[in-house]
Each structure stands twice: as structure tokens, then as C-alpha cells.
């Protein structure tokens, strides 16, 4: 058989995703051969401990030397080890050896995607990474290719399944944060370092990848404003429900135009937000992911599905393997890096959002006027004020109209300094209103 009568595949990583990739390569071999135009042959699977048998992976294919496998000259090297340093070295070595690379490694792409793109360009190979954001959901290819003739203005989504599962339980079953964290842990949903999920860093990595593709501007994880879900309380959940909202951890990337507030640019942020129950993202429950995209000509679109798990993630990886394998046979290349816009990444203070503010206040005359002045002094317009209780138990819930995040934060600082405000009980951004 000549080299072009088959396409060779090396897989770095034989864990949750790697095992599913090997299984699907075998189960779908006949279909894959037809779709690629040649059979795919697995040449090796790199793991840390090659002495331990893995279901579905022939022992003879296991190696504990990922670098040797990366350098072996396979047509396509699939990196599903995770982590940064070894993964980066192996991907760069694979490209230097002439292999195209498919990876699911959001952390590495969001930290140093530029180096991977550069190496792919230098060595004339492909870099595909559909599985790195929202698992099985076809999302990056639509952004990179299907919407290449349009202008994407905003991407807003639920891209971390673990926190969506936790927030769903807190909302629907009234479970407190600590209890639902323990439940997510017992189900094996949490990353080895749980702060990646609950503190928003996993979503931030995905937001950076989405922003770069959507706006043709280099964005890394350090450019993303991040707030996790650890401070979301049962009180916030109940207040949101009462007002017809649900709380979601959102990843939002948007273009803002030049204005009196400053120059044009992109803003990328991850934080919990109240979303109206009528918004499509409010209906995304449990560990599902969904991403809402607004493009100038196409209008609004939503992409929904499973964001994690061995088979869902392997499905996205294999789609990329087919694309890279076809390119090997045809001599073509898929899309490369596109950062021609070069827009600045702006601070979150420039984002325009609405706020919900829950205040514990002294119930006496003049309090409302004081509070209203704090908003007015920062140029923030109030939409609704709702009072609960009297005397010692008095509480006020204020919903604002849209203002810059900077003005809203300054208002909250002012409120904290007022004698009539005992505590600022909760503050949350409101997104997705008409």
C-alpha cells in the first residue's frame, strides 16, 4: 500500500476523549474511509502509564512516549492529553515533522494559540480544534467558515456544562451552592482542579477562542474578565425567579463601536447573569451547552448540544480528523489564523449591561431619595424598584436600564457608602433583554 492509500492517525492521550476516539475510529471505519477517500489507520496512542490496558485500545498501540509518537510523521496527530507544556511541545514537534494537528485543548489554545497557528503556517499543515469549545456542538466551523462572509457582532453562551448543571439544581431544587458542588463532584463533572469550572476559567478559555474567531482579533485568556458562580446565593436565585429570570454563567464576546466612552474594540467577559425566562438560553438545563450568535446579515442563531463527555467530544474531534485527512489527500489546507482586524480588547467597564441590585436598607423617610441620587449621580437610569418588608427587615430590589459596567460599579460603590444602606446583598448583571 502506498502512503496515499491510507491516512495515518496518532492519538496523544487515551483517557475519556482518547478512548472514545479510538472506539469511533474502529466502529465507523467503513464510513470514514468513504468520507476521506482512504482508510484511516491508527498508529499509536500515548498515555502516561502504558502498562495499564485500556478497553478498546490494542496494548501494542500504547506508548508512554508522546513526543516520539508526535514526531513519528503520522498524517494527523490528535492531541487529547490536556495540560499546557507537554501538549504544546508535542503539537509543535508534530507540525515540524509535517503532521496536521487536531486538538481539544482549550487551555493551550487560549493561552498560546498564536504559537500553534504560526507553526502550522510555517510547516504547511492544518490546525483544527472544534472540540475545544462546547464539545460536540458544531460551532467553530460555522464561525470560521459558514459565517466568513458576514460580520459577527456578539457571541453569548453557556459553555461550561458543570456550572450549568449546578445552577440548574440550585434554581429548580433550591439546593445550596455547597451541596450542589458536592453532588457535581460525586458525579465526576468537576475538572481535576474544580476552580477551572466554578471560578469561570474554563469558560474564559472558551470565550477567548470564540472571540478570536468571531472578531478576527487575537484574544487570550488574560484578556477575559472573569467572575465565577461561588457567590451566587439562594436569595439571588429566588429573586431572579420572582422577576421572571434565571441565573446562568454566561460567556459573552462582543464588538463595541467607538463612542463618547472611548474607541471601538471587543469585550470578552464571563460572569453569572440574570437571563429572562423567555430567552432561548434560559431553557438550557443540566450540563448542556448553547451559544447564541448575532451576525449582521444572518441575524440571530443558536447552537445547542452536549458540551462534554467522551463520545460527544470524540464526535467533534473525528469531524476535524476527516477534514484534515481529506486535505492530506487533496494537498489542500483548511483555514488558518485570521487576526487581520486587530481590534483592541477593551476593559469590561465599557460593556453596556443592565443591573439587578438587592439592598438591605433602613426603612425611614428619605432613604429612597438617597438611593435614587446614587444612581442618578453616576448617570444610571432606574427601571424598576421593588420594596420588600418594613422596619428592620426592609429590602429594596432595583433594576436599572442599560449603562456602562463602569457606571454601574461606581453606583454600587456609592451605595455601599450610604448610611441608609445596611448591606448591598446582591448585585448581578442582566443580559438578553429585548
Known catalytic residues are: 206
Nearer CB in complex with ligand HSE: 75/197: 197
What is the DSSP track for 222-280? GGSEE--STT--HHHHHHHHHTTEEEEEEEEEEEE--BTTB--EEEEEEEEEEEETTSG
b (16+ CB within 10 A) / e for 302-324: ebbbbbbbbbbbbbbbbbbbbbb
Toward ligand HSE, which CB reaches closer, 229 or 374? Answer: 229
131 scored as a contact of ligand NAP (CB under 6 A): yes
- For residue 369, what is its C-alpha cell? 431619595
| Binding segment toward ligand NAP, per CB under 6 A, in 15-23, 163-171, 229-237, 352-360 | 15-23
Count of C-beta atoms within a 10 Å radius of residue 228: 22
Q: How far is the CB of 347 from ligand NAP (least distance, A)?
A: 28
Interface with ligand HSE (CB under 6 A), residue from 19, 99, 160, 358: 160
Q: Which of ligand NAP, ligand HSE, none sits in contact with 15, Cβ below 5 to 8 A by type?
A: ligand NAP
Residue 52-91 contact track with ligand HSE, rule CB under 6 A, x = bound: ----------------------------------------
Alpha carbon distance 19, 335 (integer Å): 28
Q: Answer yes or no whether residue 183 interacts with ligand HSE by CB under 6 A.
A: no
Would you tell me how many other CB atoms lie within 10 Å of the CB of residue 416?
A: 12
User: Taking the C-alpha atoms of 121, 126, 132 and 137 in order, what is their torsion angle to the nearest 10 degrees?
Assistant: 130
Output the CA torsion sign for 328, 330, 334, 340: positive
Residue whose CB is less far from ligand NAP, 316 or 323: 316
By CB under 6 A, is residue 251 in contact with ligand NAP?
A: no
Minimum Å gap between C-beta 303 and ligand HSE is: 15
Contact by Cβ (8 Å): 209, 113: yes
In whole angstroms, how close is the CB of 99 to ligand HSE at the nearest point? 24
Closer to ligand HSE by Cβ: residue 229 or 325: 229
Q: How many helices (H) and strands (E) does the chain have?
A: 14, 17
309 lines the binding site for ligand NAP (CB under 6 A): yes
- Short-list 424, 422, 418, 425, CA closest to 362: 422
Binding to ligand HSE by CB under 6 A, coded x per residue (else -) over 190-209, reads -x-----x----x-------
Residues that bind ligand HSE (CB under 6 A): 135, 160-162, 191, 197, 202, 307-308
Amino acid at each position: 500500500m502506498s502512503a496515499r492509500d491510507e491516512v495515518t492517525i496518532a492519538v496523544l492521550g487515551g483517557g475519556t476523549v482518547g478512548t472514545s476516539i479510538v472506539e469511533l475510529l474502529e466502529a465507523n471505519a467503513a464510513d470514514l474511509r468513504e468520507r476521506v477517500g482512504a482508510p484511516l489507520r491508527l498508529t499509536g496512542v500515548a498515555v502516561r502509564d502504558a502498562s495499564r490496558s485500556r478497553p478498546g485500545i490494542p496494548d501494542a498501540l500504547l506508548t508512554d512516549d508522546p513526543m516520539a509518537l508526535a514526531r513519528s510523521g503520522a498524517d494527523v496527530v490528535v492531541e487529547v492529553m490536556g495540560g499546557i507544556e507537554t501538549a504544546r511541545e508535542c503539537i509543535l514537534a508534530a507540525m515540524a515533522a509535517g503532521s496536521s494537528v487536531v486538538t481539544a485543548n482549550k487551555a493551550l489554545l487560549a493561552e498560546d494559540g498564536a504559537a500553534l497557528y504560526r507553526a502550522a503556517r510555517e510547516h504547511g499543515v492544518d490546525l483544527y480544534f472544534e472540540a475545544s469549545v462546547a464539545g460536540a456542538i458544531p460551532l467553530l466551523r460555522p464561525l470560521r467558515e459558514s459565517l466568513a462572509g458576514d460580520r459577527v457582532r456578539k457571541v453569548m453562551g453557556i459553555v461550561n456544562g458543570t456550572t450549568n448543571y449546578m445552577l440548574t439544581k440550585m434554581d429548580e431544587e433550591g439546593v445550596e451552592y455547597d451541596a450542589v458542588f458536592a453532588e457535581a463532584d460525586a458525579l465526576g463533572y468537576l475538572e481535576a482542579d474544580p476552580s477551572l469550572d466554578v471560578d469561570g476559567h474554563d469558560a474564559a478559555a472558551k470565550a477567548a477562542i470564540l472571540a478570536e474567531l468571531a472578531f478576527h482579533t487575537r484574544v487570550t485568556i488574560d484578556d477575559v474578565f472573569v467572575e465565577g458562580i461561588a457567590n451566587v446565593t439562594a436569595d439571588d436565585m429566588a429573586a431572579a425567579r420572582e422577576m421572571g429570570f434565571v441565573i446562568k454563567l454566561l460567556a459573552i464576546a462582543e464588538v463595541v463601536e467607538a463612542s463618547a466612552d472611548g474607541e471601538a474594540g471587543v469585550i470578552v467577559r464571563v460572569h453569572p447573569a440574570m437571563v429572562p425566562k423567555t430567552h432561548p438560553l434560559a431553557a438550557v438545563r443540566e450540563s448542556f451547552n448553547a451559544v447564541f450568535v448575532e451576525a449582521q446579515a444572518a441575524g440571530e442563531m443558536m447552537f445547542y448540544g452536549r458540551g462534554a463527555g467522551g463520545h460527544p467530544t470524540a464526535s467533534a474531534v473525528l469531524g476535524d480528523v476527516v477534514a484534515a485527512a481529506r486535505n492530506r489527500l487533496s494537498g489542500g489546507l483548511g483555514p488558518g489564523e485570521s487576526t487581520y482586524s486587530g481590534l483592541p480588547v477593551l476593559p469590561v467597564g465599557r460593556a453596556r449591561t443592565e443591573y439587578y441590585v438587592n439592598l438591605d436598607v433602613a426603612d425611614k423617610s428619605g432613604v429612597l431619595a438617597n438611593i435614587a441620587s446614587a444612581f442618578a449621580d453616576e448617570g444610571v437610569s432606574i427601571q424598576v424598584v421593588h420594596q420588600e418588608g418594613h422596619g428592620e427587615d426592609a429590602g429594596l430590589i432595583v433594576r436599572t436600564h442599560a449603562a456602562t459596567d463602569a457606571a454601574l460599579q461606581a453606583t454600587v460603590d456609592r451605595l455601599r457608602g450610604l448610611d441608609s444602606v445596611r448591606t448591598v446583598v446582591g448585585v448581578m448583571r442582566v443580559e438578553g433583554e429585548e
